[in-house]
Chain A
Amino acid sequence: MAAETPRTLPRKSATFDDYTLSEIRRAAATGIYDIRGGGAKRQMPHFDDLLFLGASMSRYPLEGYRETCGTKVVLGTQFAKNPIELDIPITIAGMSFGSLSAPAKEALGRGATIAGTSTTTGDGGMTPEERGQSKTLVYQYLPSRYGMNPDDLRKADAIEVVVGQGAKPGGGGMLLGQKISDRVAEMRDLPKGIDQRSACRHPDWTGPDDLAIKIQELREITNWEKPVYIKISGTRPFYDTALCVKAGADVVVLDGMQGGTAATQEVFIEHVGQPTLACIRPAVDALQELGVHRKVQLVISGGIRNGADVAKALALGADAVSIGTAALVALGDNDPALEAEYNKLGTTAGAYDDWHEGRDPAGISTQDPELARRLDPVAAGRRLANYLKVMTLEAQTIARACGKSHVNNLEPEDLVALTVEAAAMARVPLSGTEWIPGQGKY
Chain B
Amino acid sequence: MAELDLKQLGVRGVNSALHGLVDGANEQDWLITNPMGQHAIACGLDAPLNVTIKGHVGFYCGGMNQHAAITIQGHAGVGVAENMMSGRVRVTGSASDSAGATAHGGLLVIEGDASSRCGISMKGIDIVVGGSVGHMSGFMAQSGHLVVCGDASDALGDSIYEAILFVRGDVSSLGADCIEKEMRPEHLAKLTELLAAAGMEGEPAEFRRYGSARELYNFDIDNADAY
CB 8 Å contact bits of B28-61 with A (1 = contact, 0 = none): 0000000000011001101000000000001110
Does B111 interact with chain A (Cβ within 8 Å)?
Answer: no
Interface residues of B: mostly helix, strand, loop or mixed?
A: loop
Q: With the chains together, A50 CA to B85 CA distance in Å?
A: 50
Contact of A220 among B11, B120, B159, B161 (CB under 8 A): B11
Does A114 interact with chain B (Cβ within 8 Å)?
Answer: no
CB distance from B142 to the nearest CB of A (A): 5
Closest A residue to B65 using CB positions: A150
User: Given A203-B101, A214-B60 in contact, is the A31-B79 Cβ separation under 8 Å?
Assistant: no
Q: Is the CB–CB distance between A199 and B121 below 8 Å?
A: yes
Q: Is the CB–CB distance between B16 and A223 below 8 Å?
A: yes
Q: With the chains together, A30 CA to B222 CA distance in Å?
A: 11
Does B126 interact with chain A (Cβ within 8 Å)?
Answer: no
Q: Is the CB–CB distance between A220 and B217 below 8 Å?
A: no
Q: Is the CB–CB distance between B59 and A190 below 8 Å?
A: no
Q: Is the CB–CB distance between B102 and A221 below 8 Å?
A: no
Beyond known contacts A204-B102, A222-B44: 10 more, CB 8 A cutoff: A144-B121, A145-B102, A145-B121, A189-B143, A194-B218, A205-B79, A213-B39, A213-B59, A213-B78, A214-B60
Q: Is the CB–CB distance between B66 and A197 below 8 Å?
A: no
Q: Is the CB–CB distance between B64 and A190 below 8 Å?
A: no
CB 8 Å contact bits of B56-76 with A (1 = contact, 0 = none): 001110011010000000000
User: Given A31-B221, A195-B219, A210-B59 in contact, is the A150-B140 Cβ separation under 8 Å?
Assistant: no
Contact of B219 among A144, A174, A203, A216 (CB under 8 A): A174
Contact of A203 among B12, B102, B162 (CB under 8 A): B102
- A136-157 residues at the B interface, CB under 8 angstroms: 144-145, 148-150, 153
Q: With the chains together, A328 CA to B133 CA distance in Å?
A: 46
Does B153 interact with chain A (Cβ within 8 Å)?
Answer: no
Closest B residue to A31 using CB positions: B221
20 contacts between A and B (CB under 8 A): A30-B221, A31-B221, A145-B121, A176-B219, A177-B217, A188-B142, A189-B123, A194-B161, A195-B217, A197-B159, A203-B82, A204-B102, A213-B59, A216-B39, A216-B40, A217-B43, A217-B60, A220-B43, A221-B63, A221-B64
Q: With the chains together, A225 CA to B140 CA distance in Å?
A: 32
Q: With the chains together, A216 CA to B44 CA distance in Å?
A: 12
User: Given A213-B58, A224-B12 in contact, is the A190-B142 Cβ separation under 8 Å?
Assistant: yes
Does A336 interact with chain B (Cβ within 8 Å)?
Answer: no
Chain B residues with CB under 8 Å of A221's CB are 43-44, 63-64
- A153-198 residues at the B interface, CB under 8 angstroms: 153, 174, 176-177, 188-191, 193-195, 197
Q: With the chains together, A32 CA to B219 CA distance in Å?
A: 10
CB distance from A268 to the nearest CB of B (A): 14
CB distance from B37 to the nearest CB of A (A): 12
Q: With the chains together, A190 CA to B141 CA distance in Å?
A: 10
Q: Is the CB–CB distance between B143 and A204 below 8 Å?
A: no
Chain B residues with CB under 8 Å of A217's CB are 39-40, 43, 59-60, 63
Closest A residue to B123 using CB positions: A189
B residues with a Cβ closer than 8 A to A are 11-12, 15-16, 19, 39-40, 43-44, 46, 58-60, 63-64, 66, 78-79, 82-83, 85, 97-98, 101-102, 104, 117, 120-121, 123-124, 139-140, 142-143, 159, 161-162, 217-219, 221
Q: With the chains together, A188 CA to B123 CA distance in Å?
A: 8
Chain B residues with CB under 8 Å of A210's CB are 59, 78
Chain A residues with CB under 8 Å of B142's CB are 188-190
Q: Is the CB–CB distance between A205 and B78 below 8 Å?
A: yes
Q: With the chains together, A151 CA to B101 CA distance in Å?
A: 18
Contact of B60 among A148, A189, A204 (CB under 8 A): A204
Q: Is the CB–CB distance between B83 and A149 below 8 Å?
A: yes
Closest A residue to B78 using CB positions: A204
Closest A residue to B80 using CB positions: A204
User: Given A189-B142, A213-B59, A216-B39 in contact, is the A223-B78 Cβ separation under 8 Å?
Assistant: no
Q: Is the CB–CB distance between B78 and A220 below 8 Å?
A: no
Chain A residues with CB under 8 Å of B140's CB are 197, 199, 203
Closest A residue to B120 using CB positions: A203
Closest B residue to A174 using CB positions: B219
Q: Is the CB–CB distance between B98 and A204 below 8 Å?
A: yes
CB distance from B177 to the nearest CB of A (A): 12
Q: With the chains together, A217 CA to B44 CA distance in Å?
A: 8
Q: Is the CB–CB distance between A204 and B120 below 8 Å?
A: yes
Chain A residues with CB under 8 Å of B83's CB are 145, 148-150
Q: With the chains together, A213 CA to B37 CA distance in Å?
A: 12
User: Given A148-B83, A203-B98 in contact, is the A220-B218 Cβ separation under 8 Å?
Assistant: no
Residue of B98, B117, B162, B219 with most chain A CB atoms under a 10 A cut-off: B219
Chain B residues with CB under 8 Å of A214's CB are 59-60
- A188-242 residues at the B interface, CB under 8 angstroms: 188-191, 193-195, 197, 199, 203-205, 210, 213-214, 216-217, 220-224
Q: Is the CB–CB distance between A190 and B102 below 8 Å?
A: no
Closest A residue to B99 using CB positions: A204
Q: Is the CB–CB distance between B162 and A149 below 8 Å?
A: no
CB distance from B182 to the nearest CB of A (A): 20
Contact of A204 among B97, B217, B218 (CB under 8 A): B97
Q: With the chains together, A153 CA to B104 CA distance in Å?
A: 15
Chain A residues with CB under 8 Å of B85's CB are 149-150
Q: With the chains together, A59 CA to B14 CA distance in Å?
A: 56
Chain B residues with CB under 8 Å of A32's CB are 219, 221
User: Given A191-B162, A199-B140 in contact, is the A220-B44 Cβ separation under 8 Å?
Assistant: yes
Q: With the chains together, A312 CA to B47 CA distance in Å?
A: 49
Q: With the chains together, A121 CA to B44 CA distance in Å?
A: 21
Q: With the chains together, A193 CA to B218 CA distance in Å?
A: 8
- A63-87 residues at the B interface, CB under 8 angstroms: none
User: Given A174-B219, A190-B162, A223-B19 in contact, is the A203-B121 Cβ separation under 8 Å?
Assistant: yes
